Structure 1
Amino acid sequence: MAISEPASNTRRAFDLDLPRRLVRLLDGASARHGRASLLLVAVALLAFLPGFFQLSPIDRDEARFAQATKQMLESGNYVDIRFHTQARHKKPVGIYWLQAATVRAGEAVIGPSALYSIWLYRLPSLFAAIGAVLLTYWTALAFVTRRGALLAGLMMAGCVLLGVEARLAKTDAVLLFTIIASFGALARAYMRPATERAGDLKLAAIFWTGLAAGILIKGPMAPLFVGLPILALAIVERSGGFLKPLKPLMGLAWCALLVLPWFVAIYFVTNGAFYQHAVGVDMLGKVAEGAEGHWGPPGTYFLAAWGTFWPSVVLVAMAAPFAWRARREEKVRFLLCWLVPTWLVFEIAVTKLPHYVLPLYPALAILTALAVERGAMAKAGSRLAGLVWIWPVLAIVLSLGLGAAYLWFGSGFGLAAWPLLALAIVLLWSAARAFPRVGVEGAFLTALVGTLVLFFAIYQVMLPQMRALWISERLAQVARDEGCPAEKIASFPYQEPSLVFLVGTKINYILPDAAAVLLKQGGCSLAFIDTRFHTWFETKATEIGLKYHAVATLSGFTYNGGRQVAITVYRSDEAAP
C-alpha cells in the first residue's frame, strides 16, 4: 500500500494539473482579442504543419488540382483548365489562380523547382484553414463571449477533417474560409433588432465577397451552403427582413461583377463544354448516383463525424440535449438553420465524401461553445459523460492500426513513432479521467494536446516513411537519376495523377507496345511497366529489335486501387537519332 499510494497520487496529480493549467491558459488568452488570435494561430500551426512539406502529392484529387495549376503556369492560359491531355471541366478557376500565385511567388525564391514543389500548391489550403479557425472565433463572437469563441476556434483547429484539408492542394479548406466569412456577416445581420436593420456596407461587403469567392472556388456549392440556411431562417421568421443590413440588390450586383467575367470567358473558350460537364455530369451526377464509387446510405455523415470532427465531436454529442431544449432561442435557431437543412441534403444525396459537410462544422463548434457557456453540458455521472472515453479508445485503435500499417508499408520498425503514439494515448486517457474533476473545458483541452501529439506522430513521422505508398515519388526519382525528359517516358498501367505532376506534363500514358516503340526512337527514354504486362512489352520489343535493359524494379501498394504492384523501369539502349 505504501508503494502504490505515491504512484497513484502522482498519476492523479498529472491528471488534474495539466487540465487546470490549460484552463488557466484559456482564461488568459481570452482576456484580449490579440491573445486569443495568437493562441488560435499557434494551435492551428501545430495541428496543420506536421507533414505539410514532407508528404508526397496525394492521389487523386490533390495531384489533379496541382497538375492543372502547373499546366496553367506552363501554358500561360489562365482561363481554360486542363489536366495532362484532357480538359478538366469540374470546378471553377478560383483555386487554380490561388495556387498559381503562390507557385509564382515560390519561383522568385527557389527557382524553377517551385513548379514541382507540392507544398507551394498547398499554401492556399494552409492559409485558408488557419483563416477558417480565426473566422470561427470571429463568427462565434456573435453568439458567445470571447472565452466561448476561443473554445469554438480551438475545436476547429483540432478538427481531424480540417487538418487533412489544410495539407491538400484542393478546394475544400478555401471554400470553408469563404463560407464562414459569409456566415459571420449573416449572423450579425440576423441578430440585430428589427428596428436597427439599416444597410451595413461593411457586413454586406464581407458577405457578398465571401459568397463570390466561394462560387469561384466551388461553383454552386457556396450558394447551397449559404442559401439553404437563409431560406430556412426566412421560413421560420416568416420574413426576410434580416437580410436588409446585407444590401441584397447592391450585394448581388457586386457578387455578379466578381464572378461573371470568368464564367463568361470559360463559356466562349470551351463553347459551353465546361457547363455541360461541370453541371450536367459532375454536380447533378453526384446527386443521382454514387460518382466514382463514393456511395453511402443516409446517416453516413453522422457516423463519419465521430472520426472527422474528433476530438470535438464528443462535446458536440454532450451538447445535443441543450440544442434541442433551446431550439426556439434566436441564437440556437440560427445555428440549427445553418446546420440541419444542408446536412439533410447531403445525407440524401447519393455521392458521399467526408469533406462535403466541412462547412457545417463551425456551426457545431459554436453551438457546443454556447452550451458550455450556459453550463448545459453533461455532468459527471450522467449517461453522456461516459462519451469522454471515446478519446483514448479511438486513439488506441488508431495507433494499433497505424502501427500495423507502418510495419507493412514502412522501412524498419519506426522507433520514433511509438513513444509519440504512447504519449498521445496517455494524454487522451488523462483527459477522460480528469473530466469528473476539472469539467468539460479542462478535459477537452487535454484531449486537444493529445490530438496534436497524435497528428505529429502520424503526419510528420509515420506517413512520410511509408515508402511503399509513394510509388510516383520513387518512379520520379528514378527518372531524375536517369536524366530522361518527360516526353521520353512512358507508363502502363500505373497512371496516377501524381506521376504526371512529379515527372512532367508530357509523360506518355500509353500501352506497353507503344512504350516499346517510344524506346526504339533512341536517346534517353524510359518505360514504367507493371510486371503483369512484361510479356506484352517484351514481345513488341523483340518484334522491333529494341535494345534495352532493366534499370530497377519497384514494389509498392496503390492506396487507390488497394493492391500490391511491382513496376520495372526499362531504359533504351538505342543510339540517339
Structure 2
Amino acid sequence: MPVSKLVEFYEAATRDHVRTVAFLVVLSLGCFLSGFFSLPPIDRDEARFVQATKQMVESGDYIDIRIQDEVRYKKPAGIYWLQAAAVQASGQGAQAPIWVYRLPSLIAAVSIVLLTYWTALALVSRPAAALAATMLAAVLLLGVEARLAKTDAVLCATIVAAMGVLARLVMARGEKLPHWQVAVFWASAALGILVKGPIWLMVVGLAIAAVSLLERSCSWIFRLRPLIGLICVLAAVVPWFVAIMIVSDGAFLKLSLGQDMLGKVASGQESHGAPPGTYLGAFLITSWPMVAPVLLSLGWIWRRRTALEVRFLLCWIVPSWIVFELVATKLPHYV
C-alpha cells in the first residue's frame, strides 16, 4: 500500500477520540495476539506465576502463595488474584490453558496504550497523543510483556494511569481535578502496591518529588486529597499484608523485601547483573520503533527543557531511570 494511502487511513482512523480509541484497541490486539494463545511458557518466571496461581485456585487459599510445597514470597498477591479471576471466569478451573492466565497482562498492555493516549492528551495535541500511543503499541518489549503471565504489564498500567492524573494536576496550575481522576490515582496506587509492592511508590513518588523540587513547592499535591486517598489505599492493601504476615509468621516481609528486592539492589540475582548504562543500550533494541523519534527529538527536548510539559516528562523518566541503572540486577522490563 502506498505511504500516502497509509497516512490517509491513519488520519481517518484517528479523526476524533472515539475513532482513535477504537483504532488503538484494534491495533494493540493485532500487535499482541500473535502467538498469545499458542506459545508455551517462554519465561521461567511466567511458569512460576502460573503454577502459584493454579495452586491458589485449587486450594481456595487466596492469602498464602506457594509453588508445590515451597512458599513464593517475592511479590504481593495482586497478580495471582487477577489471574485467578481470569481462570474462574473462563469456567475451566485451574486446568485452564496458559493463555487464560495471560489475560490480565493482555488487558493491561492494551490499557497501557490507551492510557498513554489519555496521558499525552494533557500535554500535547490530540494527533500527537494518538501518534505516541500508536508507536507504543508496536514497541517490542510491550508486545513481549502482553504475552507473559507476570506482573510487569499490570504494574506499568497502574503507573501510567497515575501519571496521567499527575500530568493533569501539573498542567492545571491550581485548578481542582474531577473526583473520578483523583479516584483513578489512588486506585492505581492500591493496585500497583498489591501487584508489586513498593515499585509503584518509587516511580510515582520520585516523579512527585522531582516536580516539587522544580516547582519549589509541594502544595500542588494536596489537590489529590492525600488524607482520604491514603486511608483508602491502606484499607485496600493492609488486610492482605496483615494476613500474610500472620500466615507466614513474618517470613513474607523478610523474603520479599529483604531477599528479593534488596538482594536485587545489592547484587545481580539469577545471573542478571549488569553495569550502569545497560538500560540505555537496551533501549535501542527493546523500545523499537520508538527509538528513532526519541533520538531525533533530543535536540528539541533540550531547547524546550523549561516548558512545563517537557519538565513533567523528564521528572517522570529521569529519576526512576537513574535508580534502575544503579540497581545491580537488570532486566529489560524494569524500564
What band does the TM-score fall into relative to the shorter chain?
Answer: over 0.9
For 1:341 and 1:332, the matched residues in 2 are separated by: 14
Corresponding residue to 1:191 among 168, 171, 178 = 171
Q: What is aligned with 1:168? A: 148
Contact 2:279/2:332 (8 A) holds in 1: yes
1:327 paired with 2:327, answer no
Give unmatched runs, 5+ long, in structure 2: none
Contact 2:87/2:96 (8 A) holds in 1: no
1:31 paired with 2:15, answer yes
Contact 2:151/2:195 (8 A) holds in 1: yes
Amino acid at match of 2:74: K
For 1:47 and 1:136, the matched residues in 2 are separated by: 16
Q: What is aligned with 1:76? A: 60
For 1:133 and 1:121, the matched residues in 2 are separated by: 21
SS in 2 for 1:328: coil
Corresponding residue to 2:72 among 82, 88, 110 = 88
Spell out the pairing of 1:58-77 with structure 2 (5 A cutoff).
58-77=42-61
Which structure dedicates a bigger proportion of its chain to strand?
Answer: 1
TM-score by length of 1: 0.57
1:273 paired with 2:254, answer no
Contact 1:92/1:216 (8 A) holds in 2: yes
The Cα offsets for residues 165-220 of structure 1, whole Å up to 9 and x where unpaired, read as 000000000011111110111110111123x2x36422210111111110000000
- How many angstroms does 1:282 deviate by? 0.4
Q: What is aligned with 2:216? A: 238
Contact 2:43/2:148 (8 A) holds in 1: no
For 2:179 and 2:82, the matched residues in 1 are separated by: 26
Amino acid at match of 1:39: F
The Cα offsets for residues 463-517 of structure 1, whole Å up to 9 and x where unpaired, read as xxxxxxxxxxxxxxxxxxxxxxxxxxxxxxxxxxxxxxxxxxxxxxxxxxxxxxx
For 1:325 and 1:199, the matched residues in 2 are separated by: 30
Q: What is aligned with 1:395? A: none
Q: What is aligned with 1:212? A: 190
Q: What is aligned with 2:161? A: 181
Q: What is aligned with 1:55? A: 39
Amino acid at match of 2:102: R
Q: What is aligned with 1:303? A: 281
For 1:319 and 1:115, the matched residues in 2 are separated by: 48
The Cα offsets for residues 8-64 of structure 1, whole Å up to 9 and x where unpaired, read as xxxxxxxxx622222222222232111001110111011100000110112310000
Amino acid at match of 1:48: F
1:159 paired with 2:132, answer no
- How many angstroms does 1:329 deviate by? 0.6
SS in 1 for 2:297: helix
RMSD, aligned CA = 1.2
Contact 1:306/1:313 (8 A) holds in 2: yes
Contact 2:193/2:200 (8 A) holds in 1: yes
Q: What is aligned with 2:28? A: 44
Q: What is aligned with 1:381? A: none
For 1:66 and 1:247, the matched residues in 2 are separated by: 37
1:257 paired with 2:220, answer no
Spell out the pairing of 1:177-576 with structure 2 (5 A cutoff).
177-194=157-174, 196=175, 198=176, 200-357=178-335
- How many angstroms does 1:116 deviate by? 4.4
Corresponding residue to 1:118 among 94, 98, 104 = 98
For 1:249 and 1:201, the matched residues in 2 are separated by: 14
What is the number of equivalent residue pairs in this alignment?
Answer: 335
Give unmatched runs, 5+ long, in structure 1: 1-16, 358-577
State the identity %. Answer: 54
For 2:68 and 2:142, the matched residues in 1 are separated by: 29
Amino acid at match of 2:19: R
Contact 1:199/1:244 (8 A) holds in 2: no
For 1:253 and 1:189, the matched residues in 2 are separated by: 21
The Cα offsets for residues 293-351 of structure 1, whole Å up to 9 and x where unpaired, read as 10111110011011110111111111111111111110000000000010011111111
Contact 2:105/2:150 (8 A) holds in 1: yes
For 1:85 and 1:161, the matched residues in 2 are separated by: 33
The Cα offsets for residues 72-112 of structure 1, whole Å up to 9 and x where unpaired, read as 01111000000122000000000000000111111x2xx45
Amino acid at match of 1:246: L
Contact 2:14/2:23 (8 A) holds in 1: no
Contact 1:200/1:246 (8 A) holds in 2: no
Amino acid at match of 2:75: K
The Cα offsets for residues 273-300 of structure 1, whole Å up to 9 and x where unpaired, read as 0000000000001111001110111110
